[in-house]
Structure 1
Amino acid sequence: MLSVQPSIDARLATIAPGFRALSVMVDATTLFNPQVGEDALLGACASVAAGGPAWADAHLAAWDTVFKQFGAKPKRTPNSALALRKRVQRDGVVPAIDPVVDLYNAISLRYAIPVGGENIAAYVGAPHLTIADGSELFDIMKEGRLAQESPEPGEVIWRDDVGVTCRRWNWRQGVRTRLSATDHRMWFILESLPEMPKAALCEAGDELIAGLQRMMPGCSSQMSLLGFDI
């Protein structure tokens, strides 16, 4: 098992004192049942259409408040869970992309929680949640080509020793560490605030791991709780 310990900048306690997250490290095996991801996604879209979960509106509104705390405009750059949920409410479904991505998007929808999935083998050093100074580099695709931009000073970012891996806390993931079902070492981060029950956070992590084990029998995982309210 690859052992990497993410870290959180203590300054973020002033922005989101109730922040807590599950970090899930996975050593993947051969993709045996890719349909697991798409099936989970379809089920999660149906759950959203039915109005679940009970804490969704309060939790996503709390994320809007946190985004505003560091200068982000959630209507223009919403957290990833809200963006997914809006697509389902508008279109009824979220198209399948990749078995593993579909699975963690399903968890995000079913539990109204931002979930990130990363190819941890592409990291240089450990993931670190911190406040940007504006000099960091973030890989994007622009007009079909790889390009770079920088976060705003004061923006909350995930980064490694090379640069930014996710902007505006959980708004947009970068290209360099993008995850797919063909990667062998995976890292998932499920990010919550107190408006989501802690038990539900743990349940979401368990469901993610169970889905991965059905998809890739024999894969191994390691889960840890992070944050300021654990």
Structure 2
Amino acid sequence: MVGTTRIDRILEDSFVHEEVFALRPDYRAMLVVIEGIAPAAGDAESEALLVRAEEHARRVAAAGPIEDEPHIASWREAYRAFGAKPQRTRNSLEALTRRAADALPRVNRLTDVYNAVSVLHGLPLGGEDLDRYVGAPRLVRATGSEPFDTVAGGDPVVEHPDPGEVVWCDGEGVTCRRWNWRQGRRTRLTDGTRRALFILDALAPTSDAELEAAADALVEHLGAGATVARRLLAGTDSALG
């Protein structure tokens, strides 16, 4: 069982490599750990959030090309900075907003809430099962040798990121490729997840206050009766790795 001490240590040991901040000095990551989640199907509260997110996405789509929305355009620039092609591998905010303009999936309360918060607050948001995590999260530029446990053609496979790609890792390998494009199989959230690590990614024009508000919304809807801890990683929290 993951105790409060370990939660604190995980947050204390988390870092963003200085090479990532060199790409985007405006980058910040809010890490939120929620321990004691009660697995549940979607309910009236999560459904209302999803409906609000879908309505918001339709307003974004009606205002012009989704890729020109400032928060999404900023992530497209970040992807180009490390060699990714954003029209082929869309950042999670863009992919989810495009999907939400039609309809978001209904999975379970946990997934539905964090998908809705991502769209409503205009930032990429990933969730990891803390019981499957090894050590602390770190955001680095890949060497290309790190393992990434995923699925291709319906079968489990181990892939490797491109050298220089921005990836989230733990002590066992890549947990999310291309900053926030695709999460790995090993640490993904499931119907039985009770301890989760959420990573909220922010670039300008998202302010620190807006990033905090997104984290507050996540905790409001998922943190009742749970142990919650969070940490903001900004330019002063870089490491050589």
Q: What TM-score does the superposition give when structure 2 sets the normalisation length?
A: 0.86
Shift of 1:181: 4.3
Report the count of equivalent residues. 223
Deviations 1:161-210, CA, capped at 9 Å, x for gaps: 11100000000000000013421211001100121122111111000000
Structure 1 counterpart of 2:185, which letter? V
- 1:193 paired to 2:203: yes
The answer to whether the 8 Å contact 2:32/2:199 transfers is yes
| Residues 1:70 and 2:55 are matched in the alignment | no
For 1:144, the equivalent position in structure 2 comes to 154
Any idea what the Cα deviations from partners look like across 1:73-114, whole Å, max 9, x if unmatched?
00000110000111123x2x1111222111111011001100
For residue 111 of structure 2, what is the amino acid of its counterpart? V
Determine helix, strand or coil for the equivalent of 2:179. coil
Amino acid aligned to 2:227:
S
Provide the alpha-carbon RMSD of the alignment. Answer: 2.0
1:160 maps to 170
1:18 and 1:229 in contact (8 A); partners too: no
> Greater shift after overlay, 29-38 or 153-162?
29-38
Q: What are the residue-to-residue correspondences of 1:177-192 with 2, within 5 Å?
A: 177-192=187-202
How far apart, CA to CA, are the structure 1 residues paired with 2:80 and 2:180? 13
Number of the residue aligned with 2:217:
207
In the other structure, the counterpart of 1:42 is 51
Runs (4+) of structure 1 exceeding 3 A deviation are 31-34
1:57 Cα deviation (Å)? Answer: 1.4
Which residues of structure 1 form unaligned runs of 5+?
none
TM-score, normalised via structure 1 length: 0.90
Please give the alpha-carbon distance, in whole angstroms, between the structure 1 residues aligned to 2:57 and 2:133.
33
Q: What is the identity, as a one-letter code, of the residue corresponding to 1:226?
A: L
> Hey, which of these two has a bigger chunk of helix by percent?
2
Q: Counterpart amino acid of 2:210?
A: A
Structure 1 residues 51-70: Cα deviation after superposition (integer angstroms, max 9, x where no partner): 39x9x811111111111000
Amino acid paired to 2:53: A
Unaligned runs of 5+ in 2: none
- In structure 2, what residue type is equivalent to 1:88? A
